[in-house]
Amino acid sequence: KTEVSICSHHVTHTPSGLSIEDVQFLLPQSVRLTGGALPGHYRALQFHLHWGADGGPGSEHTIDGERFPMELHVVHIKEPYGSLAEAEHDMAGIALLSFLFEMVEESEERLSEEQIEELIQTVTAALPGDPEQESAASADAADADQGP
């Protein structure tokens, strides 16, 4: 299991136009993305958020023309590139995971730990590979990256 630690000196906040706010968090080098249609291995570089004022549209991307109140981007660069600037010169140099969020009315209903565990098992069962083996390999890689 790879833990993401957010250190305040690695956080940047840059207000941009249209009342969208950007906040960026750097990720440990051990976070990787591979498989599917990706032509290689990608290393997570950072994630950032875009959101609008008062729950209004703030996403960069749309679905059927609809903007969403918030969007999360997880930016990955193809190995062996060392920076986003290097990866930008390759058409396949960057892989981006994008998550769009909607506002919902607050509810008293909360998922129990058992329901959350069941959802995690359902998602991991749908993914290729052995989640237990990959989790152990990911933890080993994270330990190796941190050194003695």
Write the CATH number for 17: 3.10.200.10
Residue of 42, 113, 102, 104 lying closest to 74 (CA atoms): 42
Q: Is residue 131 part of a domain?
A: no
Terminal CA-to-CA distance of the chain, rounded, Å? 18
Q: Is residue 69 part of a domain?
A: yes
Number of structural domains (the chain) is 1
Q: Is residue 61 part of a domain?
A: yes
Low-confidence stretches of the chain (pLDDT < 70) are 1-23, 127-148
pLDDT digits (tens, 9 = 90+) for 28-62: 888 899 999 999 999 999 888 888 888 888 888 88
pTM, two decimal places: 0.60
Q: Which domain holds residue 97?
A: 8-108
Q: Is residue 101 part of a domain?
A: yes
| Other residues' Cβ atoms within 10 Å of the Cβ of residue 12 | 12
Q: Is residue 64 part of a domain?
A: yes
Kindly tell me the number of DSSP H helices and DSSP E strands found in the chain: 3, 6
| pLDDT score of 12 | 47
Q: Is residue 126 part of a domain?
A: no
